[in-house]
């Protein structure tokens, strides 16, 4: 599980929100956990930042959670959204899924159940064409082999190998990966490539993503290999 992921909890019940944040933080799946107490704050949050998963209460003080969900989808949010609902009625569930939610969890729920759902959706989303990851100032879209700055003002095209290198470094989180591991993961463990090939690709990748390629701040060389600084 990557240590660079971001979660958003949208819940007006402060006690529940705090408890969720505390318990999810203790699991270590997320590097940052943001909170929003109503729909307006939630919509502002997703405009400012990419979240990997959003937990969204259905009963918010200013608007219906399903409407918030719909507006997030309209605004281009593609991350998994899990609705938290007190109402165990089929109607609510169906409208929630219609609004673009991926799943729903009925209150009261066990933390282990919620966490299992969150992880399942993360895994699923990672494999999908919609996956977007935050890397420094970029939104990284592996399926499109692209890095996007801001709202698409600038797009950087990546090769398949560059995409695979970034994706692997992102996956392991803020940890150093040895050249041998990276070679194996990107080119295959039986491929007849040398670390020189990897270094060439890293060099080209830095030319594309670093402000100052000779003084890398994102894709960092460490004594044991390479590390992605999120």
Q: List residues binding Ca ion (CB under 5 A).
A: 12, 57, 59
Q: How far is the CB of 114 from Ca ion (least distance, A)?
A: 15
Closer residue to Ca ion, CB minimum distance, 59 or 136: 59
**Token pair of 47, please?**
């405009």
Q: How far is the CB of 35 from Ca ion (least distance, A)?
A: 13
Of residues 12 and 67, the one with the C-beta less far from Ca ion: 12
| Token pair of 89 as six digits | 């009625």
Q: Give 111-144 as a DSSP string.
A: HHHHHHHHHHHHHHHHHSTT--EEETTEEEEGGG
Least distance (Å) from Ca ion to the CB of residue 59?
Answer: 4
Give least dist CB 115 to Ca ion, A: 20
Nearer Cβ to Ca ion (14/222)? 14
Strands 103-106 and 32-36: unpaired
Kindly tell me which of 107 and 139 has the beta carbon lying closer to Ca ion: 107
| Smaller CB separation from Ca ion, 11 or 29 | 11
What is the residue whose two structure tokens read 């609705």? 83
Closest to Ca ion by CB, 78 vs 107, is 107
Tell me the two tokens of residue 181: 């591991």
CB-based closest residue to Ca ion = 59
Q: How far is the CB of 65 from Ca ion (least distance, A)?
A: 8
In angstroms, what is the minimal distance from the CB of 61 to Ca ion?
A: 8
In angstroms, rounded to a whole number, what is the distance separating the alpha carbons of residues 80 and 101? 7
């Amino acid at each position: 599980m990557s240590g660079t992921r971001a979660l958003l909890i949208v819940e007006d019940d402060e006690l529940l929100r705090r408890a969720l944040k505390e318990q999810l933080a203790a699991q270590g799946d997320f590097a940052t956990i943001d909170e929003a107490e109503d729909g307006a704050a939630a919509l502002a949050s997703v405009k400012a930042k990419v979240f990997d998963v959003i937990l969204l209460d259905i009963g918010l003080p200013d608007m219906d959670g399903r409407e918030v969900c719909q507006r997030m989808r309209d605004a281009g949010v593609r991350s998994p959204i899990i609705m938290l609902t007190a109402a165990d009625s089929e109607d609510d569930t169906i409208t929630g899924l219609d609004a673009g939610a991926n799943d729903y969890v009925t209150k009261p729920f066990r933390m282990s159940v919620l966490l299992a759902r969150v992880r399942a959706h993360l895994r699923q989303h990672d494999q999908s064409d919609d996956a977007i990851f935050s890397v420094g100032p970029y939104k990284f879209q592996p399926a499109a082999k692209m890095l996007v700055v801001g709202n698409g003002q600038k797009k950087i095209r990546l090769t398949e190998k560059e995409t695979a290198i970034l994706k692997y470094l992102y996956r392991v989180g803020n940890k150093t990966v040895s050249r041998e591991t990276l070679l194996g993961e990107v080119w295959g463990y039986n491929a007849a490539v040398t670390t020189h090939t990897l270094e060439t690709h890293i060099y080209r990748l830095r030319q594309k993503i670093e402000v100052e390629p000779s003084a890398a701040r994102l894709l960092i060389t460490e004594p044991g290999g390479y590390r992605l600084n999120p």
